[in-house]
Amino acid sequence: MEYDTIIGFETHVELKTKTKLFCDCLVDSEAPPNTHTCPVCTGQPGALPVLNKKAVDYAIRAGLALHCTTNRHARFARKNYFYPDLPKGYQISQYERPFCENGFLEIIDDCDQPYAVGIKRIHLEEDAGKLVHSAASFEESEYSLVDYNRSSVPLLEIVTDHERNPLRSVSEARAYLEKLRQILIYIGISDCVIERGQFRCDVNISIRPKGSSEFGNRSEIKNMASFRFIMDALEYEVKRQQGLLQSGKPLPQETRLFDEGKRITLPMRSKEDAPDYRYFPDPDLVELEIDRIFVEKIQGTLPELPDQKVDRIIEDYGIPKKDVLVLTKDKAVSDFFESCAAHCDDRKRLCNWIIKDLFRLLKEASVSTVECPVSPEDFSSLVNMMPKGEITDQIGRTVLEIMFETRQQPETIIEDQGLRAIQDTGLLETVLDDVIAENSDIAAQIKEGETRPIDFLIGQVMRKTSGKADPVRVRGLIQKKLT
Ligand SMILES: [Zn+2]
């Protein structure tokens, strides 16, 4: 039997606000433990929360970027449960009346077609504190300490829709997560650094016989941060659930955990439902009326989104879409490209040099584009020199490596090391004559009309001139002499 897969995400994103969601303690993940706390975020009796307006701005900003409706009224609710990192005994979240609902995020699906993944809701909630165990794992620890610096840091929860255009495969799930992260970084509400837990997901998955409209029981895997582990867990679950259904065994609704070493999921507990949390409106926080002008102001300052940027770069610079997709994946890269393009006429060449040569150097040095030691001005002057014949492409690569190491300007490096391309045709001809004399058999083949050995002769001239001969000019000279 064939099965359909349905995957859902509840993604928690740490917002880039200066202060926490309900108090003026700083958000600072690097600070020593418990140095950014106060009666509000440690849940002291009688302390009253005051909502951070910037967090509301960011929630609505995300909603607009994901084509949601902004609700006129929003309300916070208490989600009750006990855990040592939650001093109040409840988390302030939203239940009824989240900020935004009914949006979508467009991905390219498995059939290479645009697919608008349904977004059910976006709401704000506070993060919990962090447990620090005395050993590597909880089981091996003698004791655990609690750091409340993270307590009440604003989180945005983005929930996909199960019924309206859900994710249907592991590869679509990956496309969704990558695109979501890209958009949130573009609109500047979060850095989404996965390693720092700023972008983490509860993942749920169910399968059902192909074409069926009833939902199967879901398993949920909580608090996943690594994309690779999410994909591994989903792939494992598809196989596990299919195996159970095929053998006629029951498939319970449950929360499972992912064993990173074995790459399998294991049962943890039966899944809790909303009633288990006894949600009720937080009496300390009034219901919010969202002003239309406030929303319009945010809409007015929404920056260009990734898809819009792709279309504009294709239109403005005439670069093939597949390359533009690479350039715009990381906003910093596309910003770098556009800063260079202002000084550079040959944009296709510029794009190639960024996505091939510059990317290679950045990767080798484990440096992000933001920290790139080569300035857009210097990079574009280097790229401009090659079509003018001032240096060859081969020398260009050497110069770029030196620029990357030393932060020197390309002109300085070329002058100091005598790397300028050989302009003197007489000199090139002399070198070529030597090469032809040393390779008379190959020259004879070219004379007889073979074209392939020409590249060999060009290579020999390049070798003798340490890469300073322009291969296009050498090719012209070979053709003049031998054909
Ligand atoms: Zn505080």
What was the pLDDT predicted at 113? 95
Query: In angstroms, what is the span from residue 280 Cα to ligand 1's centroid?
Result: 23
CA angle 248, 254, 259 (to 5 degrees): 100
The torsion angles phi and psi of 202, rounded to 5 degrees, stand at: -100, 125
Structural contact between residues 14 and 185, judged by C-beta atoms closer than 8 angstroms: no
Query: In angstroms, what is the span from residue 28 Cα to ligand 1's centroid?
Result: 12
Query: In angstroms, what is the span from residue 12 Cα to ligand 1's centroid?
Result: 20
The pairs formed by 476-481 with CB atoms below 8 angstroms and a separation of 24 or more are 477/425, 477/428, 477/429, 477/432, 478/432, 478/446, 478/454, 479/454, 481/432, 481/436
d(CA 322, CA 116): 21
Query: In angstroms, what is the span from residue 37 Cα to ligand 1's centroid?
Result: 4
What was the pLDDT predicted at 336? 95
What was the pLDDT predicted at 152? 97
Three-class SS state of 162: coil
Three-class SS state of 331: helix
What was the pLDDT predicted at 274? 67
Q: Are strands 288-289 and 280-281 parallel, antiparallel or unpaired?
A: unpaired
d(CA 442, CA 447): 9
The H or E element that residue 113 is part of is: none
Query: In angstroms, what is the span from residue 452 Cα to ligand 1's centroid?
Result: 73
Pick from 136, 242, 227, 225: which is nearest to 179 by CA?
A: 227
**pTM for the full model?**
0.85
Res 202 pLDDT > 90? yes
Query: In angstroms, what is the span from residue 56 Cα to ligand 1's centroid?
Result: 18
The H or E element that residue 199 is part of is: strand 199-209
Strands ordered across the beta sheet of 100-108 = 69-70, 100-108, 114-126, 154-160, 3-14, 199-209, 219-224, 254-259, 264-270
What was the pLDDT predicted at 63? 98
| DSSP H helices in 247-330 | 292-300, 306-317, 321-329
In tens, the pLDDT along 291-306 reads 999 999 999 999 999 9
Rounded to an integer, the average pLDDT of 337-355 is 94
Query: In angstroms, what is the span from residue 319 Cα to ligand 1's centroid?
Result: 49
Res 272 pLDDT > 80? no
Structural contact between residues 25 and 152, judged by C-beta atoms closer than 8 angstroms: yes
What was the pLDDT predicted at 1? 83
Band the pLDDT of 99: cuts 50, 70, 90.
very high
Rounded to an integer, the average pLDDT of 24-37 is 96
User: Across-strand partners of 92?
Assistant: 78
Query: In angstroms, what is the span from residue 147 Cα to ligand 1's centroid?
Result: 12
Query: In angstroms, what is the span from residue 63 Cα to ligand 1's centroid?
Result: 27
Query: In angstroms, what is the span from residue 30 Cα to ligand 1's centroid?
Result: 16
In tens, the pLDDT along 223-249 reads 898 999 999 999 999 999 999 999 988
In tens, the pLDDT along 383-441 reads 999 988 889 898 999 999 999 999 999 999 999 988 888 888 888 899 999 999 999 89
Decide: residue 393, CB within 10 A, 0-12 exposed, 13-18 middle, 19+ buried: middle
d(CA 54, CA 483): 72
Query: In angstroms, what is the span from residue 42 Cα to ligand 1's centroid?
Result: 7
Which tokens sit at 353? 């040099």
Which tokens sit at 165? 């255009």
What was the pLDDT predicted at 241? 95
